[in-house]
Chain A
Amino acid sequence: MALSLRHLILTAPKCSSILTRRRVAHFTFFKDQPDPSLGPTKEMNLCQTIQNAIDITLGNDHTAIVFGEDVAFGGVFRCTTELRSKYGADRVFNTPLCEQGIIGFGIGAAVAGTTAIAEIQFADYIFPAYDQIVNEAAKYRYRSQNLFNCGKLTIRSPWGAVGHGALYHSQSPESQFMHTPGLKVVIPRSAIEAKGLLLSCIKDDNPCIFFEPKILYRSAKEDVPIKEYTIPLSKAQIIQEGSDVTLVSWGTQVHVLREVAQMAAKENISCELIDLRTIVPWDVDTICQSVSKTGRLLISHEAPITGGVGAEIAATVGKECFLNLEAPVERVCGYDIHPIPHVFEPFYFPSKWRCLEALKRMMNF
């Protein structure tokens, strides 16, 4: 039965307000300030910044190509708008609907010397390409002992919770690639970070996967430096110094932890907040030095807790900083259910409340 507009308007007040009200974001976005030495800036959100980074790459590197599903018209998230008209159909093009093919093709192009930027429309869809990534891209240089390599391949993909993504538009699969030697996995927390990190991934001579927090595409608006700049890979950033507890995360969750740090400060708990940035190879030294100072570590990520990136960090810190620890390492993550069930997202999520609870547990240990 077709619903008429009149019917919809009349029944609206009777609907459950929790289910139909537009979901409010689970975090507050904290802006970063641009480095003044990088010169003039422009207000851009995350997707505009990504487009800018790709534009710079296509402009400077005549071998660079961008491809994937729906890339030609600008992309479902508008990250490739205007690039086709600027650089031509030979360099910005659609592929058939086949992730295995997108990555397989990207590997071949990179091996032949092309800077290949492959887009996987959602990180949830990366799995058909898993074999190509793990058994081909990651091993190319190794199995040929450097006769050939696909270092010029960069894979970019929208990532993470978006509020209403459900099972197939919300996943954070970074741990599944952390476990594969030969790959680099990078996740930015903001527009300024994204530009520098993406340009580093593209220039890095190893196959890189760049996950873009899709919930930040529009909401992460900052004054982004216009010129080209890079941010080093495998270098975590201490966003805020503190002395009582180290908080570690990446992507959207960094903003949740920023708020947690503010809430903790009201109770006189001094938090040191670190953005991991590169998931693998990760910056062990920065994390361990911080935990040696504070004695407490809380890791938080959206992905389910078992076998997540937090587990690797916790195990390493447990070994390296054992005698410095005042409390067991806490991991506040998604539950071990499929990320993320549509109506239960607020409860699945490692919210600021759950993080604060875990933090206090450590302080009172």
Chain B
Amino acid sequence: MQRWPGKVYSRLYRPIMYQLTKRYQSTAAKFDSSALPGTSPVDNVPITTKLEFLPSKAKSIILNIGLWTQMFSDNQLIKMYKDMTMLETMDNILFQSQRQERISFYMTHRGEEATQIGSAAALDSGDLVYAQYREAGILLYRGYKLHQFIDQSNEKCVVCYFGDGATSESDAHAAFNFAATLEVPIIFICRNNGYAISTPSKDQYHSDGIASRGTGYGMMAIRVDGHDLFAVYNANKAARQMAVNENKPILIEVMVDRFGPHSTSDDSSAYRSEEKMRHHAKTIDPIERVRRYMDVRGCWNNEKEKTWRKEATDMVLKELEQCEHIKRASITIMFDNVFEKVEPHLQKQMHELMQHVQQNHEASFLTLLSKYEQSCVPDK
């Protein structure tokens, strides 16, 4: 290409470029989504001539802590504290009892108490809760009332708990998308404790946690300090209001630490430093934080603490002892509730099993049988 003299080049450059880009803009069709049948209502999409990708990670979503918009009464505070400490007591005793082979399996909640009690306290008693497995605190808070069915009125919402690992399953994607498109009053609570058994969150996702997914589905999201009872409570309260009044889903990502192992089948020292976790736990223990607040407020003291802790321990130990003496349910129950009624083929199979059981008099079999309630088989 012939080299233009510098002056001519610079004088011509700008007008030429202006003309070129002007023409480009004027012939570029304006994207009018309303002109196309069946397109999604993403109106007023700005257009650009620049090739530019959105960043894979936007600015990190802020962690919300210590939102003090709610003043609790002493009684409310004490109930929440008692539920948190009862959960801790249950955890300690039942974890040990699994090691003693008195129960078969247990999962502790250490570190996540504020998440569970704070969120449960922010809900209506009629809201339907779908829990994963680390939410016994919710049941505790509700006094074990499992028979509450959802009220058909419009003022209830649904709450669904799950961990960081669960968000990788396509169920989570389906649930978020459906909740958003069908405008469901549901609160999704992700307990992000940094581990899915041994898998750390860096192997689980490369996004900015789970809260960042909210925009991907057109859903509002918030990130909360899960060790802070009041932050969790207030975030849930606000989310519930929006969900119920505006018929839309809200995503709450609760950042917590799982002080203990995944379950009694897990030895977490195999993949993380127990000493580090113990040290860390001391500094951020959610129960200690509430305790200190209650001390300062004057509604709790050492004396009350000692009495309550003893009471809680006694309650759990008593229940454990009583439950150990209860026999397992009768074998025939195995055939119940597969269908609404016990269908003919299951009746037949149940009779076959009971015949087999009655005919077997071998010693070890009888020992096994003695652990179960006597079966009462209705006549064919």
CB distance from B159 to the nearest CB of A (A): 12
Contact B337 A101 (CB under 8 A): no
Q: Does A112 make an interface contact (CB < 8 A)?
A: yes
Q: In the complex, A96 Cα to B170 Cα: how many Å?
A: 14
Contact B175 A104 (CB under 8 A): yes
Contact B340 A101 (CB under 8 A): no
Q: Does B146 make an interface contact (CB < 8 A)?
A: yes
Contact B174 A98 (CB under 8 A): yes
Q: In the complex, A141 Cα to B174 Cα: how many Å?
A: 23
Contact A147 B171 (CB under 8 A): no
Q: Does B245 make an interface contact (CB < 8 A)?
A: no
CB distance from A199 to the nearest CB of B (A): 17
Task: Collect the chain A residues with CB atoms within 8 Å of residue B152's CB.
Answer: 113
Task: Collect the chain A residues with CB atoms within 8 Å of residue B170's CB.
Answer: 100, 128
Q: In the complex, A96 Cα to B173 Cα: how many Å?
A: 11
Task: Collect the chain B residues with CB atoms within 8 Å of residue A105's CB.
Answer: 178, 182
104-154 of chain A: CB within 8 A of chain B: 104-105, 108, 112-113, 128, 131-132, 141-142, 145-147, 149, 151
59-107 of chain A: CB within 8 A of chain B: 93, 95-96, 98, 100-101, 104-105
Q: Does A308 make an interface contact (CB < 8 A)?
A: no
Report the count of interface residues on B (CB-CB < 8 A): 26
Q: Mark B332-360, 1 if CB is under 8 A from A, else 0.
A: 01001111100111000000000000000
Contact B147 A142 (CB under 8 A): no
170-189 of chain B: CB within 8 A of chain A: 170-171, 173-175, 177-178, 181-182
Contact B177 A98 (CB under 8 A): yes
Given A95-B181, A95-B182, A100-B170, A281 contacting B344 (CB threshold 8 A): yes
Q: In the complex, A318 Cα to B148 Cα: how many Å?
A: 48
Contact A182 B339 (CB under 8 A): yes
Q: Does A234 make an interface contact (CB < 8 A)?
A: yes
Q: CB < 8 Å: which of B128, B175, B337 contacts A112?
A: B128
Q: Mark B131-158, 1 if CB is under 8 A from A, else 0.
A: 0000000000000001101101000001
Q: CB < 8 Å: which of A95, A96, A142, A234 contacts B338?
A: A142
Task: Collect the chain B residues with CB atoms within 8 Å of residue A146's CB.
Answer: 336-337
Q: CB < 8 Å: which of B130, B147, B178 contacts A98?
A: B178
Contact B339 A101 (CB under 8 A): no
Contact A181 B338 (CB under 8 A): yes
Task: Collect the chain A residues with CB atoms within 8 Å of residue B337's CB.
Answer: 141-142, 145-146, 149
Q: Does A35 make an interface contact (CB < 8 A)?
A: no
Contact B340 A205 (CB under 8 A): yes
Contact B338 A101 (CB under 8 A): no
Q: Does A351 make an interface contact (CB < 8 A)?
A: no
Contact A149 B181 (CB under 8 A): no
Q: In the complex, A114 Cα to B208 Cα: how many Å?
A: 37
Q: Does A292 make an interface contact (CB < 8 A)?
A: no
Contact B175 A151 (CB under 8 A): no
Contact A145 B149 (CB under 8 A): no
CB distance from A271 to the nearest CB of B (A): 27
Task: Collect the chain A residues with CB atoms within 8 Å of residue B333's CB.
Answer: 145
Contact B339 A96 (CB under 8 A): no
Given A104-B171, A112-B150, A281-B345, A96 contacting B340 (CB threshold 8 A): no
Given A142-B337, A181-B338, A101 contacting B175 (CB threshold 8 A): yes
Contact A104 B338 (CB under 8 A): no
Task: Collect the chain B residues with CB atoms within 8 Å of residue A182's CB.
Answer: 338-339
Contact A113 B146 (CB under 8 A): no
Residue of B nearest to A99 (CB): B174
Q: In the complex, A108 Cα to B159 Cα: how many Å?
A: 12
Q: CB < 8 Å: which of B173, B178, B343 contacts A234?
A: B343
Q: Mark A148-174, 1 if CB is under 8 A from B, else 0.
A: 010100000000000000000000000
Select the residue from B130, B177, B178, B344 with max chain A CB neighbours within 10 A: B178
Q: In the complex, A100 Cα to B182 Cα: how many Å?
A: 15
CB distance from B176 to the nearest CB of A (A): 9
Task: Collect the chain A residues with CB atoms within 8 Å of residue B182's CB.
Answer: 93, 95, 105
Task: Collect the chain A residues with CB atoms within 8 Å of residue B150's CB.
Answer: 112-113
Q: A104-B174, A151-B340 are in contact. List 8 more A-B contacts (CB 8 A).
A: A96-B178, A100-B170, A108-B130, A142-B338, A145-B336, A145-B337, A146-B336, A147-B146
6 A–B pairs (Cβ distance < 8 Å), ordered by A = A96-B174, A112-B150, A112-B158, A113-B149, A142-B337, A145-B333
Chain A residues close to B by CB (< 8 Å): 93, 95-96, 98, 100-101, 104-105, 108, 112-113, 128, 131-132, 141-142, 145-147, 149, 151, 181-182, 184, 204-206, 234, 281, 284
Chain B residues close to A by CB (< 8 Å): 128, 130, 146-147, 149-150, 152, 158, 170-171, 173-175, 177-178, 181-182, 333, 336-340, 343-345
Shortest 8 CB-CB contacts between residues of A and residues of B? A101-B174, A205-B340, A281-B343, A141-B337, A101-B178, A142-B337, A100-B174, A98-B174
